[in-house]
Structure 1
């Protein structure tokens, strides 16, 4: 903001910068919504889409059958264990009864009880045989359970292999989708960044400069900030690569502008003093003088020294005498500060 400009112009300039910021804020909000919604142009992949339908169905049915057999086998094992406990209790009771009976027989030594001894022994043998039958059945159940577990493990390995192959296809599809979505985002943000650069180069000094700067801020934010959360692992190369290119272009432009400025200044400084002063705007000249620099070459001036009337660097006339009151005044002031007399078009510097 120049110190020589009117106060109202300063406030208008601040208001226009506020317009540029607000315009950029709305564009950033709109851009974030668009960038965030771009994945919706692609459908979401699931693992089931890449599974072999027939193999997956057969595997699921086989696992269901095996687990049903395991459940049945466990129920039967529980029943056989209960039966074994009952048979063991019966055998234990019969052995206790038989032992008591033997004690009685030994005490009485009665031979007529021999048929009873045989019957009781046969009864114990039958109970023990029933007990062994149940134990053998339990052993068979256990073996069947091991076989079912082995079949289940084999089927699970096959199912895992099937799903692993589908997962590879899913990962490849998602990587391709991620690349496409990133390309969509890049195709949206990169041209905006290029357009913003062109507008800054060609339109930043027009009357619509607030919208140019607002658009440029929004485009830079969208590319260098808003794009970051959505970039794939290799997206940083694109972003930093574009940043390097933008920096190189901007730096090269600045270097060329500096050299061109120096060349123009050398040509201007070689022209007559009066001609040079007419080509410098009053506000610009006064603003530079307020900074104690020459309005022409922008080099430092010792304005505190009352004898400084010309720029020691380029020879531009800085101070002149008022033709009415001979007051020392700037050659760029339109009116004399002492008497208010309008300055001539080409004031003559103090000799």
Structure 2
């Protein structure tokens, strides 16, 4: 902010910068909502959309039936195995009891116990038959489970044959949709950036500069911040390509701007001093002098040197004498600071 500004003008300038920031904040909030909701333009993509509408439901139904049959077979096998374990435990317990009783009978050798021996043998035979029957049920359920498992594998293979190409097609369509959404966002933000560049070049010094700068902040944020998370990856090619393009465009603009600036400075330094003074505004001259640079050529000069009255680089006058009191004063000052007499050589009044 220039030291030549009045105190109230400085506060007005700060207030206008606040207006620019608030304006940019509201624009950024609105733009963020728009950019974030652009993905609703595209319909959600699922693999089911790419499965054959005739074969898909049939294979899916067969797979569901096979899964249910396999579950039922597993449950029946578990029940059969549990029953077989119970029958085996019953027979083993009865066999141990019979063996103990048989050893006792051999010791006593009592003939009246022969009918009990026959009954116990029959009971063991019955338990053994139950155990064998339970084991046969287990074997049958194992066969059913194997058949159900193989049928499920065949149904799963048929479903995979339909589903895997559909998944690939859905992924390809999703990438295309992602790119389209990115292009929608780019078509929205890129014109904003172009308008912001035009406003920066043409209107940044107009009386409505707070709104100009607010829009510039908004456009820059929308393009360089809000757009970045939505850049498709593609191995980083898009990001690197966008970075290269932006670097080339901005670098070219800076190079051409530098060349134009040097050409203007060279042409200005070739002009007579009075004509050069006419091209410099009062505020610009004061701002450059406050930075200890020459208002004409913008090179560093030692303004504290009392012997320095002209710029040693371009020859423009930096100090002169008051025509009334002969006090040494700044050549761009409008009035003599010692006696208040209007200066004889000053720049234009308008900034």
With the length of structure 1 as denominator, give the TM-score of the two structures. Answer: 0.80
Distance 1:227 1:150, change over 3 A: same
Shift of 1:160: 4.6
| Greater mean deviation of Cα atoms: 118-127 or 60-69 | 118-127
CA distance in 1, matches of 2:144, 2:235: 56
Assess if the C-alpha contact under 8 Å between 1:178 and 1:232 holds in 2.
Answer: yes
Q: Per-residue CA shift, 1:225-267, capped at 9, x if unaligned? A: 2222222213854444334333333333333333333333333
1:329 match: secondary structure: strand
Match runs of 1:7-26 below 5 Å:
7-26=7-26
RMSD: 3.5
Is residue 289–residue 295 contact of structure 2 (8 Å, CA) maintained in 1? yes
Q: Report 1:245-256 matches (<5 A).
A: 245-256=245-256
Ranges in structure 2 where 5+ consecutive residues have no aligned partner: none
* Equivalent pair of 2:331/2:345 in contact (CA under 8 Å): no
Q: Which stretch of the first structure deviates more once superposed, 75-84 or 65-74? A: 75-84
Displacement of 1:66: 2.8
The whole-number CA distance in structure 1 between the counterparts of 2:283 and 2:124 is 127
Residue 43 of structure 1 is matched in structure 2 by 43
Question: Residues 264-343 of structure 1: matches in 2 within 5 Å?
Answer: 264-343=264-343
Aligned match of 1:82: 86
The structure with the largest alpha-carbon Rg is 1
Distance in 1 (CA, whole Å) between partners of 2:78 and 2:105 is: 40
What TM-score results when the alignment is normalised by the length of structure 2?
0.80
Partners of 2:59 and 2:158 within 8 A in 1: no
What per-residue deviation string (whole Å, max 9, x for no partner) do you get for residues 124-145 of structure 1?
6853555544443443334443
- Which residue in 1 is equivalent to 2:6? 6
Q: Does 1:55 align with 2:87?
A: no
Which residue of structure 1 lines up, in the alignment, with residue 68 of structure 2? 64
Q: Please name the residue that 1:259 is paired with.
A: 259
Question: How far did residue 23 of structure 1 move?
Answer: 1.8
List alignment gaps of at least 5 residues for structure 1.
none
Distance 1:174 1:231 in 2: 14
Q: 1:237 to 1:193 in 2, by over 3 A?
A: farther
Q: How does 1:50-199 map to 2 (within 5 A)?
A: 50-51=50-51, 52-86=56-90, 123=122, 127=126, 128-129=128-129, 131-199=131-199
Q: 2:23 touches 2:211 (CA, 8 Å); kept in 1?
A: yes
How has the CA–CA distance of structure 1 residues 251 and 9 changed in structure 2, closer, same or farther, with 3 Å as cutoff? farther
Q: Conserved in 1, the CA contact under 8 Å of 2:66 and 2:148? A: no
| Paired residue secondary structure (2:306) | coil
Question: How many angstroms apart in 1 are the aligned matches of 2:11 and 2:123?
Answer: 115
- In the aligned structure 2, how far is the partner of 1:180 from the partner of 1:72? 53
Number of positions where the alignment pairs a residue of Structure 1 with one of Structure 2? 342
Q: Check whether the contact 2:310–2:316 (CA below 8 A) recurs between aligned residues.
A: yes
Contact 1:94 1:124 in 2 (8 A): no
- For the residues of structure 1 that align with 2:117 and 2:324, how far apart are their CA atoms? 159
**More off after superposition, 80-89 vs 185-194:** 80-89
